[in-house]
Amino acid sequence: MIASDYFNGEPVAGNPSPRCHSAEVRVPVRPTPNLLHRYANPGQFLRLARTLLPWLTGGAIVFLVVGVIWGLFIAPADWQQGDTVRIMYVHVPMAWLASSCYLGLATCGVLSLVWRHPLADLAAIEIGPVGACAAALCLITGSLWGEPMWGTWWVWDARLTSMLVLFFLYLGHIALIRAFDEPARGQRAAAILALAGVIDLPIIKFSVQWWNTLHQPDSITLTGAPTMSMMMLWPLLICTIGFTLGVAAVIFTRLSAAIHESRARQMMARSRLDRRDSQAA
């Protein structure tokens, strides 16, 4: 099935889209409507986004208001870092989001390379800049935190360097996916880049355990008790949930807009074709 029909077609199995005007062309068999394909269908996605968006946006606002006020004004200062520790309530969510957005980008890469889902390519275009912003904010807040605490803005230790590499991977992806006149080629190349770059994620995560670094090890682990007072941990968790919901809302909005844009472009192209046909006749 070619992509242009895919974006216009509503997912009715065995019932070809009414806009399929050329009756001679054999309509390819639609993919089996399993879970993967159902949500990879742009029409289904738009419906899902319409239902979810108010909840995501509302949840993000509630969690962020509570989390930011709690973190910045109510939570206690650290016994030796003082109020500087409050940078954590932005820095940690941004680090988490930069990594998870990249994981999303890599998932889109697999879906695009293996299953050729057109929605995965659109999603990769829309996730890239959001993740790049999160990575940049993580680096900037980390730098602002490092200067007063460590005594330096930047060091080339394994954690900081691997995070910078992730930021450059995002920049490369953003550039590559838009680099070709034929979008499909850029999307293919970007999907490969996203997949290769996924190696950086475990390096970021485990850099503080594998090598000694200036950056401190993780305070929150799956196995041990968090080495952080609960009075700081709760606002941190709430801020993280809030930023995550907010970023999900941004990505859903961007992706919906991109689908609408591609539909509008196809309708314009089709009406141009129809006009040419009627002139020729």
Partner 1 sequence: MTRKTRRLWIVIACLACVGSAAALTLRAFSSNIVFFMAPSQVKASPPSPDRTIRLGGMVMAGSLHRINENGTPVNAFQVTDGQAAVEVHYTGILPDLFREGQSVVALGTVQKDGGFTASEVLAKHDETYMPKEVADELKRTGKWDPRFGKAPDASSWDTMTAKKAGG
Question: Where do contacts with partner 1 occur on this chain (CB under 8 A)?
Answer: 76-81, 85, 88, 110, 113-115, 148-152, 155-158, 195-196, 198-199, 203, 210-214, 216-219, 224-233
> Cβ closer to partner 1: 88 or 134?
88
* CB environment 184-216: b (16+ within 10 A), e (fewer): eebbbbbbebbbebbebbebbeebbeeeebbbe
Asked if residue 77 lies in contact with residue 85, where contact means CB atoms within 8 angstroms, the answer is yes
Q: Provide the minimum distance between the beta carbon of 210 and partner 1 in the complex, in angstroms, as a whole number.
A: 8
Cβ proximity of 63 and 241 under 8 Å:
yes
- As a whole number of angstroms, the distance between CA 109 and CA 194 comes to 6
Nearest approach in angstroms of CB 89 to partner 1 is 11
Given the complex with partner 1, which of 56 and 111 has the nearer CB atom? 111
Residue 269: both structure tokens together:
């192209």
- Give CA torsion, residues 6, 8, 10, 15, to 10 deg: -70
The position carrying tokens 């009756």 is 23
What minimum distance in Å lies between the beta carbon of 158 and partner 1? Answer: 5
Q: Are the C-beta atoms of residues 216 and 208 closer than 8 Å to each other?
A: yes
Q: State in angstroms the smallest separation of the CB of 78 from partner 1.
A: 5
Q: Report the nearest approach of partner 1 to the CB of residue 193 (Å).
A: 11
User: 15 vs 216, which CB is nearer to partner 1?
Assistant: 216
Least Å distance, CB 280 to partner 1, is: 38
Q: Are 188 and 112 in contact (CB under 8 A)?
A: yes
Among residues 136 and 198, whose Cβ is nearest to partner 1?
Answer: 198
User: Looking at residue 20, what DSSP letter applies?
Assistant: -
Tell me the Cα Rg of the chain. 23
Q: Which of the 8 DSSP states describes residue 73?
A: I
Nearer Cβ to partner 1 (53/198)? 198
Task: State which residue, 146 or 246, has the beta carbon closest to partner 1.
Answer: 146
